[in-house]
Amino acid sequence: MAKVLVTGGAGFLGSHLCERLVGQGHDVLCVDNYFTGSRANIAHLIGNPRFEMMRHDVTFPLYVEVDQIYNLACPASPIHYQFDPVQTTKTSVHGAINMLGLAKRVKAKILQASTSEVYGDPEIHPQVESYWGHVNPVGLRSCYDEGKRCAETLFFDYWRQHGLKIKVVRIFNTYGPRMHPNDGRVVSNFIVQALGGNDITLYGDGSQTRSFCYVDDLIEAMIRTMNTPNDFTGPINIGNPREFTIRELAEQVVAMTRSRSKLVFAPLPSDDPRQRQPDISLARAVLGWEPTIDLRDGLERTISYFRSQLRAAAE
């Protein structure tokens, strides 16, 4: 059993990862500054002797003793990462330098939660790991996209220069319970709007595509990646290759919630990628993994989570 550090552990993905690692018998140290994460996400783990929480901002150095590091700290939704773009870049870049420095000192294996955004608005479809991307370096999304690209560079330079054991996963759109209800990401937005009987906001004409992965599948792939042989670094795509238009997603959410919400159209945000679909051949071959939960099942679980959240808030 290992001592594992999860940065961003009080966030959506981080809290599921901490839960799974504790369940596997590891000692987990969760580090988070609560920018988008919350104590509620990890409340069920507090008191477990295998779980420890530390409030800390990864842009500052951290001195702890661990065997593995999952580096997830970074706001992930466009609303949150554009709120303080300079801090977003600092979190990705200074955060990566600090966590890589820590990994170097204690000889820990370190995994970076990178993103499909490194491909930008892709000209290659579906996206393969060898594609270098099509990213605007000076736009509203750049703080996130370029911050994550620079973090990947740092990981590979620490690997080449210092022989660190690194893993880089490129995560595609993932959804599920514990998404922040106001974080503006499309799945949580549509569900919260539909359950509240409010208009469903389709940006643009809704023909842009995304491929949605349920959180449990994603966490399984992340842990399998951490456990690959030392000579495997990635980058490796993880996500669900089934592609939907945003309009199809809206219609499915409305049907499943039996909502009377109407679809309304709003301007497309700048640099919004037209299409996104992971090629997961590498994950299939190296991890023996592919997603098992389809959109309908995943939406059912997510809708029931938001229903209970809204009910609790109303009481």
Q: Which of residues 2-61 bind ligand NAD (CB under 6 A)?
A: 7-8, 10-14, 32-37, 57-59
- Is residue 85 within the footprint of ligand UDP (CB under 6 A)? no
- Is residue 186 within the footprint of ligand UDP (CB under 6 A)? yes
- Is residue 195 within the footprint of ligand UDP (CB under 6 A)? no
Q: Which of residues 40-79 bind ligand UDP (CB under 6 A)?
A: 77-78
Work out how close the CB of 171 gets to ligand NAD at its nearest, in angstroms, rounded to a whole number: 4
- Is residue 119 within the footprint of ligand NAD (CB under 6 A)? no
How far is it, in rounded angstroms, from Cα 216 to Cα 206?
27
The answer to whether the peptide bond before residue 273 is cis (omega within 30 degrees of 0) is no
CB 82, CB 143: distance < 8 Å:
yes
Q: Which of residues 217-276 bind ligand NAD (CB under 6 A)?
A: none
CB 21, CB 66: distance < 8 Å:
no
Task: Name the DSSP class of 199.
Answer: P
Per-residue contact flags (x/-) with ligand NAD for residues 97 to 116, judged by CB under 6 A: ----------------x-x-
For CA atoms 52, 55, 58, 64, the dihedral sign is: negative
Residue 72 binding target from ligand NAD, ligand UDP, none, CB below 5 to 8 Å by type: ligand NAD
Can you state the angle between helices 246-257 and 295-314, rounded to 10 degrees? 60
- Is residue 210 within the footprint of ligand UDP (CB under 6 A)? yes
Half-sphere exposure of 45 (CA within 13 A, CB side): 27
Work out how close the CB of 205 gets to ligand NAD at its nearest, in angstroms, rounded to a whole number: 23
How many residues does the structure list for the chain?
315
* Cβ proximity to ligand NAD, 4 vs 259, nearer residue: 4
Residue 210 binding target from ligand NAD, ligand UDP, none, CB below 5 to 8 Å by type: ligand UDP
Q: How many whole angstroms from its chain centre is CA 32?
A: 15
- Interface with ligand UDP (CB under 6 A), residue from 62, 154, 221, 246: 246
List the alpha helices (DSSP H) in 196-245. 215-226
- From the candidates 144, 158, 175, 214, which is the catalytic residue? 144
- Interface with ligand NAD (CB under 6 A), residue from 4, 5, 21, 76: 76
How far is it, in rounded angstroms, from Cα 132 to Cα 60?
30
Please provide residue 61's backbone torsions phi and psi, each rounded to the nearest 5 degrees.
-60, 155
Residue 45 binding target from ligand UDP, ligand NAD, none, CB below 5 to 8 Å by type: none
Residue 158 a catalytic site member: no
* DSSP helix/strand/coil, 86: helix
Q: How many whole angstroms from its chain centre is CA 48?
A: 25
Distance in Å from the first CA to the final CA of the chain: 42
The residues that are catalytic are 144
Contact positions toward ligand NAD, by CB under 6 A? Answer: 7-8, 10-14, 32-37, 57-59, 72-76, 91, 95, 113, 115, 171, 173-174
Contact positions toward ligand UDP, by CB under 6 A? Answer: 77-78, 173, 184-186, 189, 201-203, 208, 210, 246, 269, 272
